[in-house]
Amino acid sequence: LSLSCLPLPRCVQQMKSDGFHVDELFQKCLFEEDEKDEVLRAIRTLHPNYQLPPPPKPETCKSSLLQDFYSEKMVSYPKLDFSVQELQERFQQQLEMELDNTITIESVEATRPLTPEAIKARKLLGTLRSRWHDSILQALQKSKHNMSKLKTASGYNTLYPYLCLLPDEEYVAIMLQILSTLSPQGESLAVLARELGSKVYNRYVTQRKLRSRQLEKVQEVYKDYIHLLAKDGQPDEYLPREYWEKLVAEAGFGPSLNLKDCSWPYMLIMRLGMHMLELLVQAVKVPRNILNPRLEPKLIPVLYHIYSFRSSWQVGLIKPHPIFSQIVSDAAETLLTFNSSAIPMLCPPVPWTSPHFGAFVLNDTKLMRFVDGAVQHQLLLEQCPPVNLHPVLDALNQLGNCAWKINQPVLDIIISIFNDKGNEKLDIPPPISEAPRPPAASGSSSTWNKSQKHELLLCKKKAAEMHSLRMDALYKLSIANYVRDKVFWFPHNMDFRGRTYPCPPYFNHLGNDVTRAILLFAEGRPLGPKGLDWLKIHLINLTGLKKKNALQERLEYANEIMEEILDSADRPLTGRKWWMNTDEPWQALACCMEIAKASRSPDPAAYVSHFPVHQDGSCNGLQHYAALGRDLIGAISVNLMPCSVPQDVYSAVAQQVEEFRKKDAEQGVKIAQVLQGFISRKVVKQTVMTVVYGVTRYGGRLQMEKRLKEIDEFPEEYLWEASHYLVKQVFNGIKEMFSATRDIQNWLTESAKLIAQSGRTVEWVTPLGLPIVQPYYRSKSTLNCGMQNLSVKNSNSNQKPDTVKQKNAFPPNFIHSLDSTHMMLTALHCLRQGLTFVSVHDCYWTHALTVDVMNQVCREQFVALHSEKILQDLSEFMLEKYCRYSHPCHAPSCLHPPLLLGLDVPQCSV
């Protein structure tokens, strides 16, 4: 309809009657394409002099923890070593990659010589893929034709519009991509369905952003935004979020960058994925005699639907036929295809400005990761006043704006070992060709005895594990190799507890020792007077030695072994290989190389280092509990109080357990006598570390059993009894050492139990204003499909909370949210000080030059956080939310926090 046909006066009058002002159309509505221009033109036909309302004045966060941060004038935002022109070129490269949706890169196995068998297999695979493409396309078109004829609103009929959103070729490409990445051991039906459905959704979102002209606006705004980051840019007094919002407000017209919500229900994504999977299984076939001409030339399916048990659950799997796996193995293809969102960004991320907008240029990224279709946390974020989210958004932007590069010498050594059969001791997985072979047995498998069948099962399990680990390493190393000459960025988002994660899933600094060793800061800083000392201390920390020694003693030890350090740096694979016997060998080797270069430079203080130095928390969960409970004894054991030497809580608990054991042994307790000489820091560490994150006695017993199994001398027949005894004593030891911890845990658990029993989920707000809800529910929906019915969690307002999960998860989740709050506070205040800062949860990274400043900021923010009335505020929130109206808790007095002990938080040293 043309605007002249619309009853405009009546619409405007109705708005006025309902209490709305015309200005609100432009202040609160989201627009696509040229809708905003059209609405303005329509209004001006009635009111020719109407002017758009001015942009709302930016609100300032009022959090008491960040009053200074937001009230003071922003110091110059750290500049990157790139010009505006260079950053614009990088943005174009990133945009092209995202527009393609996928990217194909060389595998690090590409250096292997090509055999005649591989050439033949590749040619065969190419022919088969061409046939499969045609078969899948035909099956898809037939399926759509049948759906279009359906009269009733069946499940399949509701899928029809979603199979018409993209060109048919794109659906086929998505299905073929899934086929090419399928493991020989198969993959869960639910995982594959979710992946297929999500790929379609992501491509649809990209198309929608193009159609709505949102991309055009992002390009225009980003062109100006990079002036904040470029070395030759002008503005410097803004945070990235503030500057982006300013530029968007100034842009005025065009589509809204926060598009109207177009998220698809989780059930729909799963149903669409299942349908595509069914088409794939039905359409993709291979001649049975393709590898063995003596067999009959019958077409057989490439994919099979089978069932397997994982723990006590029966799980549907899609498994490729061995013929297909053999062809893929023989072809030894050297190209890998990834979603563009799996690759680090080639330009600085788009800053987070709302729960719906930030990170990648086009790829749809949620601020908070969802769990199995839960959407309650997304609703909470949308209802939250935008200003309350500013600290969280600014912290994520700060983490994402850290530029990285590759440590090429270390990467090359790792790739050489990876291509030379790997090395399990160095955490480089060997190829599946090195998997153990089951002993040859005569006759068919039906005549094998129980022992032979068990051994075969173990061999298959080991082969599956090896393949999974090998592919994981292949992906990480290949992506690292792809960006080896580039500077790149990791956009960040968070889970429902507020813990932050890089968005690219395979290769990032949260990875293992191998991955961390090949990452360097793109920005270099001189070591300064103490930087070389910090590198040496960092190296000793990586070895796992001297944990109980003061920092000065660790430094002295590093100086004593300089010969070993230099030998490791100069001859990593041919020398004495000291670095190989450390806790984190690859990071230790990288550090040895950095120390060698710095110590040999004419002036070590002036040596420009790109190396990240880590400062790791000492049992962070217990630190938070000790501070929450004002527990002086507990605080001393986790280094919250000043002390001449570092305290080691794991050794302290081991010593306490040993005291219990001695008493029991003297009283004739057999298992206590058996355990003499076997109780160590290593045996108890994992359980002590995880007890604050909700590990149960059952889980703790399994941890203990695993550690005892690693001790060759320990008698196997006592494993169960010993682990049962030990976990009981560890829990007793922690209860004795951290008297307030158990009281707080019990209070949190009991509160969550009451809340869940009243039919509601546990919610809270972090000290930084982030709203959190636990996504644990009992109800599941059954997804009826032709191949298999799936039990899927489905979000709706009638869901009943899972009382057990809500209760058990609240203490660890609450502590995780505090840990994340402390990290974000540290990140923001490090930004104020001009530091490069990233984190791996409770492990903070910066340049050697700025370690002392970061440590000071970390301590100050921990004290500031725990100077807040955290437990009292939580209690008041729960009483207000759950005991006010129609959902009275049965015993509101239980929601009052336990009494605190006598620790003075400002004295904490962290």
Specify whether the CB–CB gap between 158 and 274 falls below 8 A. Answer: no
Q: What CA–CA distance (Å, rounded) separates 542 from 4?
A: 73
Q: What CA–CA distance (Å, rounded) separates 322 from 320?
A: 6
Can you say whether the dihedral through the CA atoms of 195, 196, 202, 203 is positive or negative? positive
Specify whether the CB–CB gap between 764 and 880 falls below 8 A. Answer: no
Residue type, 886: S
- φ, ψ of residue 252 to 5 degrees: the values are 70, -85
Does the annotation count 372 as an active-site position? no
Query: Considering only CA atoms, which of 886, 315, 877 is closest in space to residue 897?
Result: 877
Q: What CA–CA distance (Å, rounded) separates 270 from 304?
A: 19
3-class DSSP state for residue 846?
A: strand
Specify whether the CB–CB gap between 521 and 610 falls below 8 A. Answer: yes
Specify whether the CB–CB gap between 459 and 490 falls below 8 A. Answer: no
Residue type, 115: T
Q: Which residues of 316-340 are buried (b: 16+ CB within 10 A; e: fewer)?
A: bbbbbbebbbebbebbbbbebebbb
Q: What CA–CA distance (Å, rounded) separates 559 from 574?
A: 22
Catalytic residue among 120, 616, 662, 869: 616
**Number of Cβ atoms within 10 Å of the Cβ of 129:** 14
Query: Considering only CA atoms, which of 321, 325, 274 is closest in space to residue 302?
Result: 321
Please tell me what DSSP assigns to residue 619. Answer: S
Residue type, 791: S
Specify whether the CB–CB gap between 28 and 53 falls below 8 A. Answer: no
Which ranges constitute the DSSP H helices of 503-527? 513-517
Query: Considering only CA atoms, which of 600, 392, 624 is closest in space to residue 495?
Result: 392
Catalytic residue among 36, 209, 319, 685: 685
Structure tokens given for 852? 């002392």
CA distance from start to end of the chain: 67
Please tell me what DSSP assigns to residue 75. Answer: P
Q: What CA–CA distance (Å, rounded) separates 413 from 32?
A: 51
Q: What CA–CA distance (Å, rounded) separates 615 from 625?
A: 20
Using CA atoms, how far residue 895 sits from 169, 750, 752, in Å, is 58, 8, 9
Query: Considering only CA atoms, which of 679, 699, 678, 675 is closest in space to residue 689?
Result: 699
Which ranges constitute the DSSP H helices of 613-738? 620-628, 632-637, 649-666, 670-674, 681-691, 697-709, 719-737
C-alpha torsion 725→730→736→739, nearest 10 = -130
Does the annotation count 685 as an active-site position? yes
Q: What CA–CA distance (Å, rounded) separates 271 from 277?
A: 10
Does the annotation count 453 as an active-site position? no
Query: Considering only CA atoms, which of 242, 257, 276, 469 is closest in space to residue 357?
Result: 257
Q: What CA–CA distance (Å, rounded) separates 425 from 706?
A: 18
Q: What CA–CA distance (Å, rounded) separates 524 from 612?
A: 10
Q: What CA–CA distance (Å, rounded) separates 380 from 392?
A: 14
Query: Considering only CA atoms, which of 466, 463, 441 is closest in space to residue 453?
Result: 441
* Residues acting as catalytic residues: 616, 685, 842
